[in-house]
Structure 1
Amino acid sequence: MKIAIVGTGISGLTCGYYLHKDHEVTLYEANDYIGGHTATIDIEHNGKQYAVDTGFIVYNDRTYPNFIKMMNEVGVKGNPTQMSFSVKNAANGLEYNGHTIPTLFAQKRNLLNPTFYRFIFEILRFNKLAKASADDDSLVEQTLGEFLQSNGFSDYFTQNYILPMGAAIWSSTLADMRAFPLRFFLRFFLNHGLLDVVDRPQWYVIEGGSRAYIEPLTRGFQKAYD
């Protein structure tokens, strides 16, 4: 069978990889490169070369089981990495990192700061409420901003935690995040372990950058894009 695949992101490449073994496959791509969201840039720092991903960056062992299986199949190695979130708010002077207790209280004055403890409580409250609301069909038309307002979350929490985190993930402004579709936001955070304080998934990066999986996935049908 002759099969046309439109787009060479990971979905298109995966389809091509598995289908070309039994079918005649042709991939179509509007860009002058293949790989979709992959964007690996080579940089030199202190005499060493680094492959830096600016598109697809990380994956985890909880949400990406089929991707991991395919990477193992084509011989592409993943290296364990850490994912954490840091904030520096120039307007109010707040700085913290959520990776460990010491980094959470990087500013020692927050050890005696009631506002900061209320902030931590709101993070835990949001996580609990988000888990309970992720599959609530009555919220399908709601935005993140509406959800935060209707549940009484403070400006301190929204401006120093949930909106900046969403903005960092989706390269958006804080205003854009307020208008973000709630259900998609909650499902993404739930699936990626971002609503958990403990038992978080292990994250990985592709050795050599995400571009490393393009050649082995297309090896069997490279004439499709040469």
Structure 2
Amino acid sequence: MSAKPSIAVIGSGVAGLSAAYGLRAHASITLFERDDRVGGHASTVEVEDAGGTLGLDTAFIVFNAPAYPNLTKLFDELGVDSLKLRSGFNFFDLDDGMQYGSEQLGLSEDEVTARYPDGFQNTWREVRRFHEEARRDFLRKRTDLPMGEYLDRGGYSEAFRHGYFILLCTAVWSVPAELIWELPATTVIAFFMAHDEGGLGGREVDWRTVAGGSISYVRKVIAAVDPKVRLNEPVTEIHQDEDGVVVTTAAGTERFDYAVVATHADQARDLLQNPTPAQQQLLEPLRYNASNVELHTDASVLPVDRSQWRPWNYGKVTLDGQLRTYVTYYLNQLHGFTSEQDYFVSPDSPFPIANEKVIKTFHYEHPIIDLAMRNAQQTIYRVNEGTRLKLCGSYFHSKQQYYDQIGSHEAAFSSGMEAAAQLRRELGAT
């Protein structure tokens, strides 16, 4: 009986975990991770609270079955429990005091006219117009252009852009406001069509969180795969040849039969010493945005009126003459627990958060989704055909969701699943 092939998986985020899971019965797997933990954006901080343990997620937090079919299937296979989220959002403007949420967007025009000032009435009407026109334009294939150009063409106001649109998009794609205009309009519109006009805070979607935090599913994947895990061991070089792949770390070099590079595209670009022309062409133009995320207990980032707090809280404020937008996740509602202590996640907060209230700070990177990245999706999976080295990550799309499911946990998981399937085919395994 021949020995199983050796496979190095570089990166233990969801793409790497997915690839390892898909290869678990067919290979001897070594998992390289530069950090001191596995999971990547499945990043949970466990805190003691009132005699119990709370799992607080700081990056990947929510999913729903229609938009995350492959991830949901994994959870079902592994017996990962989930909790239904009572969804909703809160928009607030700290400059003029205007505040509205999911409930207000769901009102009729007569109700809005009777109850709310002209500013909100105008925003409400533009929200309605955008979702009607965008759906129609999408179906007529008129949305293959940057988001900023699409909104310019439609004559949308600054109030709509900064009081609604930017706020939702910065949370969905984890990029700063100035990069929202580069998003492909078709990608943004497809997201809203698949969910509803509340986006992440939409109430018509069965949003769920992983019980105990996303670390719960990570632990079950690791237990199912049982790889050789090499924490705190960043890979510095990868060289591929006809017979295998050589992986270099500070500890030296090792040869494997195959490798799966499950890092961000820019990291893969730096690691590959001799990329194929297809790999080089794919990786070269792809960009990332870095953000600092604070898990904390400082309630000053939200309005004083607690009754308006929601799982997703989108704010805007003018600081030093510059309009700043931000999002704060209220974890007590997102994870569905009751505690005397409030817990929040704030990416790139425009306000300083009290040091004594910061539990932990994280540095995350997300792909900048522009037309170049979306156009690459048309042929992206060909890059892994017939090579000893396979690529995967959230810069790939989910085949089940078409080209516009990019940048998400589902996209990353699906890309790892596809990399594993490609390798199994080339190994002659079922």
TM-score range for the pair, normalised by the shorter chain length: 0.7 to 0.9
Given the alignment of the two structures, is residue 167 of structure 1 paired with residue 170 of structure 2, yes or no?
Answer: yes
Q: Please say if residues 8 and 31 of structure 2, whose CA atoms lie closer than 8 Å, have aligned partners that are also in contact.
A: yes
- C-alpha change, 1:87 and 1:195, in structure 2 (3 Å) is closer
User: Match of 1:124?
Assistant: 128
Deviation, structure 1 residue 170: 3.3
1:87-98 alignment, distance < 5 Å = 87-98=91-102
- Return the match for 1:222 from 226, 237, 257: 226
User: Match of 1:19?
Assistant: 23
Aligned residues: CA RMSD: 3.1
Corresponding residue SS for 2:226: helix
* Whole-angstrom CA distance in 1 between matches of 2:228 and 2:74: 21
- C-alpha change, 1:89 and 1:45, in structure 2 (3 Å) is farther
- C-alpha change, 1:131 and 1:8, in structure 2 (3 Å) is farther
Q: Please say if residues 105 and 124 of structure 2, whose CA atoms lie closer than 8 Å, have aligned partners that are also in contact.
A: no
User: Which ranges of structure 2 fall in alignment gaps of 5 or more residues?
Assistant: 231-430
Deviation, structure 1 residue 17: 1.4
* Whole-angstrom CA distance in 1 between matches of 2:193 and 2:141: 16
Deviation, structure 1 residue 151: 0.4
1:135-150 alignment, distance < 5 Å = 139-140=143-144, 142-150=145-153
Amino acid at match of 2:99: E
User: TM-score of the superposition, structure 2-length normalised?
Assistant: 0.46
Q: Deviations over 1:24-69 (max 9, x none)?
A: 2233333332112111112355665422111100001211122112
Q: Deviations over 1:96-148 (max 9, x none)?
A: 111x249979xx997142442232121111112222344666643x3222211
Corresponding residue SS for 1:205: strand
- C-alpha change, 1:15 and 1:223, in structure 2 (3 Å) is closer
Q: Which moved more, 1:43-52 or 1:75-84?
A: 43-52
Alignment length, in residue pairs? 222
1:41-190 alignment, distance < 5 Å = 41-44=45-48, 49-98=53-102, 100-101=103-104, 111-134=115-138, 139-140=143-144, 142-190=145-193
Considering Cα pairs closer than 8 Å and 6+ residues apart, tell me whether 1 or 2 has the greater RCO: 1
Q: Please say if residues 62 and 192 of structure 1, whose CA atoms lie closer than 8 Å, have aligned partners that are also in contact.
A: no
- C-alpha change, 1:136 and 1:31, in structure 2 (3 Å) is farther
Instruction: Report which of the two has the higher share of helix.
Output: 1
- Return the match for 1:203 from 207, 225, 228: 207
User: Which ranges of structure 1 fall in alignment gaps of 5 or more residues?
Assistant: none
- C-alpha change, 1:4 and 1:131, in structure 2 (3 Å) is farther
Q: Percent identity?
A: 27
Q: Please say if residues 85 and 165 of structure 1, whose CA atoms lie closer than 8 Å, have aligned partners that are also in contact.
A: no
Deviation, structure 1 residue 81: 0.3
* Whole-angstrom CA distance in 1 between matches of 2:32 and 2:159: 47
- C-alpha change, 1:52 and 1:150, in structure 2 (3 Å) is same
Instruction: Report which of the two has the higher share of strand.
Output: 2
User: Match of 2:40?
Assistant: 36
- C-alpha change, 1:179 and 1:2, in structure 2 (3 Å) is same
User: TM-score of the superposition, structure 1-length normalised?
Assistant: 0.82
Corresponding residue SS for 1:38: coil
- C-alpha change, 1:102 and 1:175, in structure 2 (3 Å) is closer
Deviation, structure 1 residue 195: 6.7
Q: Please say if residues 2 and 25 of structure 1, whose CA atoms lie closer than 8 Å, have aligned partners that are also in contact.
A: yes
